[in-house]
């Protein structure tokens, strides 16, 4: 019994990742944070060595504060689907964002959720992949 209780205590210290990275739970904070966005940027697609037809759905929830000039500080990845290439793409995208700063909102924490599909095979992958289903199985990689 004590081992089960100890394991439960260890697991309760970890943050669970939801399938939407908290988009529904934090929807009010996200809507409020979007009011500060002057210019947004898209998350660039990330494609690995063996992309699949559908790819995988990824998400990242970021929390940050803004200076009075609209510069991000204290950026933190609060919740992610644990896909490092997608997290890097989100970081590049948020660096391109422009925000409206506010002296009164200096200590407010902003929240945004980025969602996308990672490792999806592009249409230009080639006609050979339509026939052999390249990338979905390692043995079917074109030579």
- Dihedral angle sign, alpha carbons of residues 99, 60, 75, 84: negative
pTM of the model: 0.74
The reply to whether 7 falls in a domain is: no
Separation CA 17–CA 57 (nearest Å) = 13
The reply to whether 103 falls in a domain is: yes
- H or E segment and range at residue 90: helix 84-96
The reply to whether 3 falls in a domain is: no
The reply to whether 10 falls in a domain is: no
pLDDT at residue 6, rounded to an integer: 36
Question: Looking at the 3D structure of the chain, how many domains does it have?
Answer: 1
The reply to whether 128 falls in a domain is: yes
The reply to whether 11 falls in a domain is: no
pLDDT at residue 135, rounded to an integer: 55
The rounded Cα 67 to chain-centroid distance in angstroms is 23
Domain that holds residue 34: 16-140
Separation CA 26–CA 11 (nearest Å) = 23
**Which residues of the chain fall below pLDDT 50?**
1-16, 140-142
pLDDT at residue 136, rounded to an integer: 55
- Check which CATH number belongs to the domain holding 126 and give it: 3.30.1150
The reply to whether 108 falls in a domain is: yes
pLDDT at residue 137, rounded to an integer: 53
The reply to whether 48 falls in a domain is: yes
């Amino acid at each position: 019994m004590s081992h089960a209780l100890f394991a439960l205590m260890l697991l309760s210290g970890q943050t669970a990742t939801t399938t939407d990275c908290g988009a529904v739970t934090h929807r009010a904070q996200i809507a409020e944070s979007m009011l500060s966005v002057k210019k947004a940027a898209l998350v660039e697609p990330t494609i690995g060595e063996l992309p699949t037809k559908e790819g995988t759905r990824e998400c990242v929830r970021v929390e940050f504060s803004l200076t009075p000039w609209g510069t991000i500080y204290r950026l933190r990845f609060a919740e992610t689907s644990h896909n490092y290439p997608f997290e890097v793409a989100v970081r590049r995208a948020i660096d391109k964002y422009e925000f409206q700063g506010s002296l009164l909102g200096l200590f407010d924490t902003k929240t945004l959720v980025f969602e996308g599909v990672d490792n999806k095979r592009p249409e230009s992958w080639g006609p050979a992949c339509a026939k052999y289903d390249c990338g979905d199985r390692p043995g079917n990689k074109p030579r």
